[in-house]
Structure formats: structure tokens, C-alpha cells
Amino acid sequence: MSADADVQALRRKGRIVVVGASLAGLRAAETLRDLGFTGSLTLIGDEPYEPYDRPPLSKQVLLGMEPAEDTALPRKRDIDAEWRLGAAAASLDRAAEHVRLVNGDAVPYDRLLITTGTKARPWLHPEEAALDGVFVLRTRDDSARLSRKLAAGPRRVLVIGAGFTGSEIASVCRERDVEVTVAERAPAPLVGALGEVVAAAAARLQRDHGVDLRCGVSVTALEGDQAGRLRRAHLSDGSAIDVDVAVVSLGAIRNTEWLAGSGLAAGPRGVACDAGCRVFDVNGIVTDDIYAAGDVARSPHPLFGYQFLSLEHWGNAVEQAQVAAHNMVSTGPDRRPHLWVPMFWSVQFGVNIKSVGVPTMGDQLVIAQGALAEGRFVAVYGYRGRVIAAASFDSGKWLGFYQQQIETGASFPPDYAMVDRRTDALQPVDPAFPDPHLPTHEPTVTLTGHSPTERGVQFTAPRA
Amino acid sequence: MALGTMSAQITDFANRADPYPLYAALRKSPVTRQDDGTYLVSTYYEVRSLANDPRLSNDLRNRAPGAGGPAVAEEDTNLPPSFLFHDPPEHDRLRNTTMRPFGPPHSPRFLHDMRDDIAEIITGLLDALEGKDEVDVVEDFAYPLPVTAICRILGVPREDEPRFHGWADTVASGLDPSQGKEKAQEARRELGAYLSDLIEAKRRHPGSGILGSLAQETGSNGSMSTAELVSTSMLLLIAGHETTVNLIGNATLTLLRHPDILKRFQTEPGLVVPLVEEVLRYEPPVQFIPFTAALSDIDIAGTTIPKGAQVWLLLASANRDPKRFEDPDRFDPDREDNQHLGFYTGIHYCFGAPLARMEAQLALPLLFRRIKNPRLTADPPPYRANPVLRGPHHLPVAIDGLAA
């Protein structure tokens, strides 16, 4: 049978299983139906809820403006799917072509889409994480619980880690008139995403709004009272703070544990796939029936040196899901690449922060418009003489222009006259990202086997 | 100053009723240089790109002397330009200050809370048509509605309207690149004097409406000066007079020209939401932006627009670009992904867009529910002189009376 006929049959009566029932999974399912897929569609989700929107969870819901249960994602169409909610996928058997759920059920597939996303990185010490008053923020339930706690008027909240989520939580605390301390290991908030130069503006923003921001320190221990309630946090500089709430916001880990042993190139950094969302196996050979999209996927991007990027961005989840869905029911020449230019936004302390491109690749930076000191600016990042990214504070409407500059490989620095340019000669500076040579906790791979038929690759767990 | 060939044709009143063939001819090349040094941009992606390009300035002081192109009325009076004719940072400061009492994040409910008021104005205007068998939809409905609404929103006494009606029209005519500026500048001075007095009074007694709130923002520690507030309120007042009237007028005209869609609309009032968007694409109330200037050379679509050149962004042409909109000359409220440029795009995106949408979405279903068997009696109807803020001057419609 030809590939065309296979795909025609698949479109008519194939079985597509989507593991991960959030933004990417839902949008993929809708796209499949839009494309005329009439076979069976199963959505598997570990949470008991239908797909909901996460950005409000650290903003409106936490502020008490909107109940957590009102965050359900709007549906673009009826998807006529079988929902397996509240039963997480436990494993994948590629030989048998089925997904095994935690309750033991096997769900067979002809095409599989992995959209399992990420979860909050938990606090390092489980017994401390179990204290009453220690939170993470990722899910609807997390947000509802934390919102209730903030409404009860805690004496002081400790936010551990000043990435975007941590900074937004601190912002909500101040808006609710709750005292908050932010402990960040780096020299400023958002350093990992935007570099120290821009992060200095984020630090000022926090302090101007009454956040007790402590940088260059880490939290060494959370201490509870006899009833198991959080009462104090100890910091690496030897100090201690009395707190009754701590929110652990140390970033996300990708939900790939269930794929251990599946033979797919899946690990803590995500599920590796090609630009068409087809997942690689551990040998680096692309599969043809398994796809990935959203936060959990890592794929090569031609604009950024074909680096494998994994993007925890709302817009990326939508676009990649649509590309994956399209490719799942298309033959070779009709398949499309996922060429989304990374873009994300945050709102904190009344300021809209937006970024386009990949700032972390930047080796130089100029403030092209506005001024850091005014907290209203566009920072443009260059990489080897080309524009690679831009980040804005309260100037987001210009980023479409910089996106075009990135897409066309425009030269850096942008040395032409434009509105709100403050200095005639732009002095590029080092954006000051953290040293990439620090050891990580990631696993390595080892080559195994000797003869060409048994030669392969094996994941090696990280050494503790 | 004489206009370039195509720009003269666009502003020529003879082409007012149907400028679209001119735009279609222009779209053969996305960017066209005129003899006077002006650049006309006619295609969707190029207009969108330039509207978002920080190398284009709305600040009239940035045009190179002798670069060609018309003057605009906001120059050369003792009032500062409004935020429409400013670049950041002044633009952002003025616009953000003005947004505080008008919309989110500080006043997210302001417009929503005006809904009942506006519906009441609409009902009042329609009730007044009782007993007529011919109505002028512009004079009787599309004009008084937004004027009454903007007066209420700003807090300008409606009874003063006859005084500033003429000034507002004349100031708006200053946007017409083919017209002299003297009259517009004089009207601007007079309207400015009226608004200065009003703002002075509002400082003591704010009353309702956003001018009262904004009057409290002026002064030594305020975020805008009194003169800036005068310019701002003039911009909002004129925009309230000269744009929504065309949206409602153009929508009515377009519906009467498309009986099938009108019939459907009468039984399906929810259609109004995509319908208004399609009118904004198909017959945009603001046809083009004739006053931007290039701050540096800009390479676009194979042309280099030189530093200092004046650039016209033809929104109405971009909205009919077949590269962006399938079958663009077809009026189709079911069109998907209708990201028209009717409200412009970028930092100068229409400040009053949510108000205009609300007015049109409330007005059109009520209008077509009440007037029985409407028929156009003149097609095309007589148009306003202004080529930028384009719409019918009168829209005579025969009706079989009024439904309850």
C-alpha cells in the first residue's frame, strides 16, 4: 500500500491518542478534526479537569479576581473525543503500540501525540516540602490553594526563585498587600531568561514595590513547628526569616518519566523531535508514528543554529500542536516545519514584559529604544553580528518589528534612527547570562554495543 | 503644494464613492514613489510592517523640509500636538495617562458601564424616526449617536454641541492632504479655547466623564500639562465626531447593498460582531494615514524609502489585498482570521476602538430591527469631502415606518 493510501485510511478510521490534556493536546485535537480526521481520538490527562489555561493561575486567579475553576480553555470546535481524565499515562510500549495508564488500562494507537508538558520542580527536601504552608504553582489546584492562603492574610510569604512565575507571585503578594521576601540564587530576578543587564531593571521593579528581594542567596532549609506548619526559612547567608508561606518556584521539569524504557529520546530536557514534531528514538532515528508538541517537546530551530529548543511558551504550544496535528495525518511532501519564533510575556508589578527570539543566545545587547532607568525600554540582543532576540518592558508593541529583524537575519547592532532612541551611538554590552559551564544535573548518554546491528545509545541516570 | 499623481487621484472628490480601483492599481507595486517625493504603501504586509516600524515617525517635526507632502493642521498653532502626532516617550506618557480613566488596567469597567446609556441614546434616536417614510441615516442616527456618546464619555455638555460641531468638522478637514490648513488651524484655536475653559471648570468641579478625571492629573506634579490635555481632548472629541459616524454609515450602506446578508442579519443579530469587523475591513472609516515620516532609510519590498520621506499607509487598500484576504472585494461577514487594519496597528492603534465597536454593535441590530423595509434612495449616496475620514455625508433611506 502506498504512503498516500495509508494516510487516507488513517484519516478515515485510524486511532489517534493524545497524552496530555492541556493547551497543546486540546489544540492538536481540534486541528485534527478541522483537517477531517474522522477516526477515534483519545485524550489522556493526569488531572481530573478538562483543559484549562495556565497564565491566569499566577495572575488573576492568585489575585482572587477569577476563580480557578473558571480557567477552562475556550473550545474552538467539537472534537468528539474519548476523555481519559484523572488517569495518568504510566508507560509506552512501542512494540505493542499502546499506552499503559496507571490504572492498568492499555490504550492502543496508530499515531501518538505526546503533550505531557511540565510540572513544577519540587522542593529538594520532601519532608520540608510536606510542611503546611509550602506550595508550588503549576496546576489549577495549586493556584486555588495558594490563592486561599493569600486571602487569609499571611504575615509573610517567601518566594523561592525569581524566575517569571516567582516574580509574578511576588507581584500578586504586593498587590494583595502581603509582605513578601524573594530569595534568588542569581544576582537578580529573571537573570536566566534575560541576562543581568535587563534583570537589574526587574530587580528595581521588585524593590520599588516593596518586595524584600534577596539575591545571591539560596534557601537552605524550611523549618516547621510541632504541628507541621512552616514557621521559618534559613538562608545560605546565615540569616533566617519568619514566614508562614513559602512558594517554591524553581522552574519546571518535563513530564517524561512515563517514557523511561520506551526507547524514545526523552529525558529531563524534554522529548526530542524533528522540526516536523516527529519524535526521535534514543538512537537519534526519527519515528513516524509518534509526535510531540508543547512544553515537553524539544526541536531544532533553523533560525537559531538548528539548536534543539524547548519552549515553555503559550503561543508555542498552540502553534506546535497545530503543526504536529497536521503532520500526523499528512504524507511526506505535505508536512510542515514548526518555525515559530519564540515569544513570551509576563505581567508583574504593573509592567508588561515581553520577549521575542532567544535572548540566552545573545552575546551582546543594546538598549535600542527607551531607557533602562525609566523601566520602559526595548533591549535588543545580538549574536555574532545578527539580531537574535529582543526583550521589552512596557514597550511590547515594538516586538513585531524586532521579530522581523530576527527572521531576516538583520545585522546587529540596529544602528539606524528610530523613535525613542536615546543615544546616538549604541554601545553594545555583554548581556551577562549565567556561566553555561557550571555542571548540571542532567543525565548523559553512552554508546553501547559493538556490531552494527546492536550498536545503540543508552541514557545514563545523573549521578547524585 | 501639488500632490503626486496617484495621491491627487485618491484625494480627488470624484473618486470618493469608489476609491478601490485606484488602490487595486496601486497594489501592483507595494510601495510607489510619487513625483513630490511621497511614498504610497498599498499592500497588507508592507502597511502592517511599516505601521509597526520604529523607523517611521508620527511626529510632524521629523519630516525633512522640502521632502514634499502636505501639511497637517496640528502644526503651527500654539497648542502642542496630540498623542497621535507624537512618538514615544511623549506619546506613551500622554496616551497612558488618557487611558487611566477610560480602560484597563485602571478602569476596566468604564466602557462596560456606559452600555446602557448608549443603548438608551440609540433607542431615543430611533423613537424620533416615528412617522417618517424617509430617513437620513447619517443625519438622524449615525452622526448624533457617537457625538452624544463622546460628549457623555468626555463630560462635555451636549448643549454646547452646535458650537463645536463646525470646529470639529473643520479641524478634521485638516487631515485632508489636498486642502489648505488656514481654516483648520483657526478652528483648532477656537475649539482649543472652548476646551481650555471647560477643563478649567472641570478642575474645580470634575463631574462625570474622563475630562474631569484628567483635569485632576494636570498641574505641576501631574502627568500632562493643561495644554496637552486640551490637545488630547480635542483629538478624542474629533475622533468621536468623525470616525464612528462613518463606521455606522458605511455599515448601513454596505448592508443595504447586500440584501442577502441584511436578511440574515435581521434574524441573526449576533452576526453583528463579525459584521462590524468586516465593515472595518471592507469600508474602513479611516482610509489612510498620510502623515508618517521615515527617520532613516527603510528597505521594503525592493524599494528604499529614504530618510525624511513622507509615507502614506493606505489601510483601505491593504484591507483589500488579495495576498492577505481571499476574494477581497467580496463583503463576507463569515470571513475567518479577519485581521483587518481598519483600526490601524502598532502603538497608534485606535484609542477608541472598544468604544467604536460597542457603539456599532449596539446600534446596527437595533436600527435594522426598527426600520421596516429599508431601501437606498441614492446609490452612491453623497459623500463627505474628507478622503481620510471617508463616509457618506447623507444616507437617505426610504422605510415603511418603524417597528415597535
pLDDT in tens, A122-177: 999 999 999 999 999 999 999 999 999 999 999 999 999 999 999 999 999 999 99
Q: Which residue shows C-alpha cell 477610560?
A: B102
Please judge whether A419 and B52 are an interchain contact, meaning their C-beta atoms are less than 8 angstroms apart. no
Query: What pLDDT score was predicted for residue A424?
Result: 63
pLDDT in tens, B190-224: 999 999 999 999 999 998 899 999 998 887 777 89
**In Å, how far is A276's CA from the nearest CA of chain B?**
24
Contact indicator for A45, A20 with CB cutoff of 8 Å: yes
Which runs of E-coded beta strand occur in B303-359? 303-305, 310-313
Q: Which residue shows C-alpha cell 535588543?
A: A380
Cross-strand bridge partners of residue A223:
A232
Residue B276: its H or E element: helix B272-282
Smallest CA-to-CA distance from B291 within B34, B9, B46, B63 is with: B63
Contact indicator for B77, B189 with CB cutoff of 8 Å: yes
Could you tell me which chain A residue has the CA closest to the CA of B86? A419
**CATH code for A126-250?**
3.50.50.60
> Per mean pLDDT, which range of A250-254, B39-43, B245-249, B355-359 is the poorest?
A250-254
Please judge whether B54 and A369 are an interchain contact, meaning their C-beta atoms are less than 8 angstroms apart. yes
Contact indicator for B346, A397 with CB cutoff of 8 Å: yes
Please judge whether B55 and A417 are an interchain contact, meaning their C-beta atoms are less than 8 angstroms apart. yes
Query: Which cell is B141 given?
Result: 442616527
A118 φ/ψ angles, rounded to the nearest 5 degrees: -130, 170
Query: What pLDDT score was predicted for residue B68?
Result: 46
- Say which CATH topology domain A3-119+253-334 has: FAD/NAD(P)-binding domain (3.50.50)
Please judge whether B88 and A401 are an interchain contact, meaning their C-beta atoms are less than 8 angstroms apart. no
| pTM for the model | 0.91
> Has residue A406 got a pLDDT over 90?
yes
Query: What pLDDT score was predicted for residue A426?
Result: 73
Please judge whether A398 and B347 are an interchain contact, meaning their C-beta atoms are less than 8 angstroms apart. yes
* pLDDT-based confidence at residue A458 (cuts at 50, 70, 90): low
Question: Is B87 touching A (CB cutoff 8 A)?
Answer: yes
CA distance A84 to A106: 12
Every domain of chain B and the residues it spans? 5-398
End-to-end, the C-alpha distance of chain A in Å comes to: 50
Question: Is B295 touching A (CB cutoff 8 A)?
Answer: yes
* Mean of the per-residue pLDDT values of chain A: 93
Could you tell me which chain A residue has the CA closest to the CA of B348? A397
CA distance B222 to A93: 67
* pLDDT-based confidence at residue B60 (cuts at 50, 70, 90): confident
The whole-angstrom distance between residue A271's C-alpha and the CA centroid of its chain comes to 13
> Has residue A441 got a pLDDT over 80?
no
Contact indicator for B32, B312 with CB cutoff of 8 Å: no
Predicted complex ipTM exceeds 0.95: no
> Has residue A461 got a pLDDT over 80?
no
Which residues of chain A are at the B interface, by a Cβ-Cβ cutoff of 8 Å?
350, 368-370, 374, 376, 394-395, 397-398, 400-401, 404, 416-421
Query: What pLDDT score was predicted for residue B163?
Result: 84
Candidate from B52, B55, B349 with C-beta closest to A416? B55
CA distance B54 to A453: 58
For chain A, where do the domains classified as CATH 3.50.50.60 start and end?
3-119+253-334, 126-250
Q: Which residues of B touch A417 (CB under 8 A)?
A: 55, 295-296, 307
Question: H helices of A286-398, where?
Answer: 314-328
Please judge whether B52 and A398 are an interchain contact, meaning their C-beta atoms are less than 8 angstroms apart. yes
Candidate from A350, A417, A420 with C-beta closest to B88? A420
pLDDT in tens, B115-166: 999 999 999 999 999 999 999 999 999 999 999 999 999 999 988 888 888 8
Listing DSSP states for A10-56 in one string gives HHHH-EEEEE--SHHHHHHHHHHHHTT--SEEEEEESSSSPPB-SGG
Question: Is B97 touching A (CB cutoff 8 A)?
Answer: no
- Say which CATH topology domain B5-398 has: Cytochrome p450 (1.10.630)
CA distance B201 to B218: 13
Contact indicator for A132, A299 with CB cutoff of 8 Å: no
Query: Which cell is B19 given?
Result: 476609491
Long-range contacts of A314-320 (CB under 8 A, 24+ apart): A314/A23, A314/A54, A314/A55, A314/A344, A315/A340, A315/A343, A315/A344, A316/A340, A316/A342, A316/A343, A317/A22, A317/A23, A317/A24, A317/A27, A317/A115, A317/A293, A318/A23, A318/A24, A318/A27, A320/A24, A320/A277, A320/A293, A320/A294
Higher per-residue confidence, B75 vs A231: A231
Q: Report helix angle B226-242 to B182-204, nearest 10.
A: 120
Q: Which residues of B touch A398 (CB under 8 A)?
A: 52, 54, 347
Candidate from A398, A404, A418 with C-beta closest to B295? A418
Please judge whether A416 and B59 are an interchain contact, meaning their C-beta atoms are less than 8 angstroms apart. no
Q: Which residues of A touch B92 (CB under 8 A)?
A: 376, 394-395
Segment B308-317 shows an average pLDDT of: 96
